[in-house]
Structures are given as structure tokens and as C-alpha cells.
Amino acid sequence: MNRPASHLQHKTCGASGFTLVEVLVALTIGGIFCLALYGFYSLHVRVLKAEEIRLHIQENGRLAIDFLVRELRLAGARPVRDGPCAGFARLTRAEEQAITLQYDFRGDVAGTPPDGCPDDPLEIISYVYDADAQLLRRATGRGAPQPFINDVPPDGFLLRYFDRNGNELVPPLAGAERAAVGSIIVSVRTSRPHPYSHAEPLAVTFSSTVFLPNPPG
């Protein structure tokens, strides 16, 4: 027996989905999350870059100060007292941003004993600041100064001279003043721009007082 159409029960499946508003809200939240994630990543990259730069300039500055301190302590060293160059000058140039020292540690050929004269090229050492290139140059003998460390700002390499009584000598120093130098304060500062353009440049400063152990004359 057929039932009346009015008694037929029709079951319909409800359609599920997102409204336009829900989609927009989800996209907004996702965009905010992506922006936050990118900001964190960008900050992390810049922090790492800043640390890399700091380590680089610190390494350069430490290298320079170590070389300067070690070599300045040798100025005037002469194991042979009665050689043909007895009494040679320890410093032949003493300026605020340039210095030339000499000492005797070998003969004219590598491996030979000191001969009393600082005439071997390796026995004459110069440091000079190059303002145009903003770097410190080093030379041996009478050769042209070669780049030693870079990233040195205009006031990043300074030398201050004192006599044995602690009186400061104003450079450039003449012959008698150079002979009177008892100690030298060496300052080396290296600097590079910060990865953040609005931040202060990254800079590292090293300073040391060198007492010249070898008496003049």
C-alpha cells in the first residue's frame, strides 16, 4: 500500500563550509603569524651578523695590538754591544700615527747571529696609518708599507710617548726626544657599521702601555 506523499520523510544532507568572514579572519591571523615569524627571523639574522662583525673587528684589533706590543719591546735590542753600529737609534720615526723602530737580532742572512747592526730588512719595522683607506699599514726595511689591518677609523690608531719620568712628549719627535722615550701608549680601535642602519657602529678598542726595556745609545 502506498503511503501518501505528505507522510514521506525526506532526509537532506547539510552542506558544511566556511563563510567569507571566517576565511578573511583566518587569512588575517595567518598573515599576522607570518609577519611575526619573519620579524623574529630577521632579528635573529641581524643579531648573528652583528656578532660576526664584532668578532671580526675584535680579531683585527687584537692582532694589531699584539704585534705592536711585541715588536716595540724589541726596539733598540742589540746583543752585540761593540759592533759597527753600536748605539743605533731605537726609534727613527715617532709620530702620532706612525712609528719606525729598529733592533738587531740576526746578521744579514737568516739563521746567522746578530752582527751589531740593524741593517737587515726584517730588523727595521714601520707602522703607519693610511687615512684615505682607513687601515693600518706595516712595512719591513725600506719597502712600501703593506695593508696590515683594515676597518680603522681616523682616530683608531694613536701613539702617545712618555719619557722615563712620565712626562708626555708631543709628537712628532726629534732625535733627542726619540732617544728620551721610555714608554709608549698604543691604542687601536676597529669599527664597522651596525647591521641596523639606525644603530651605533660596532667598535672595539685595545690599548696597552709598552715600556721600552732597551736603553738608548
Enclosing H/E stretch for 51: helix 20-72
Q: 15 pLDDT exceeds 70?
A: no
Indicate the pLDDT class of residue 10, thresholds 50, 70 and 90.
very low
Q: 111 pLDDT exceeds 80?
A: yes
Indicate the pLDDT class of residue 76, thresholds 50, 70 and 90.
very high
Q: Is the pTM of this model over 0.85?
A: no
Which one, of 137, 135, 138, lies nearest residue 152 by Cα?
Answer: 135
Q: 215 pLDDT exceeds 50?
A: yes
Q: What is the pLDDT of residue 12?
A: 47
Peptide bond into 201 cis (omega under 30): no
Distance of CA 19 to the CA centre of its chain: 60
List of long-range contacts for 49-58, beta carbons under 8 Å, 24+ apart: 49/195, 50/194, 50/195, 50/196, 50/202, 53/192, 53/194, 53/195, 53/202, 54/202, 54/204, 56/151, 56/192, 57/151, 57/190, 57/191, 57/192, 57/202, 57/203, 57/204, 58/190, 58/204
pLDDT single digits (tens) 125-175:
999 999 999 999 999 988 899 999 999 999 999 999 999 999 999 999 999
pLDDT single digits (tens) 172-196:
999 999 999 999 999 999 999 988 8
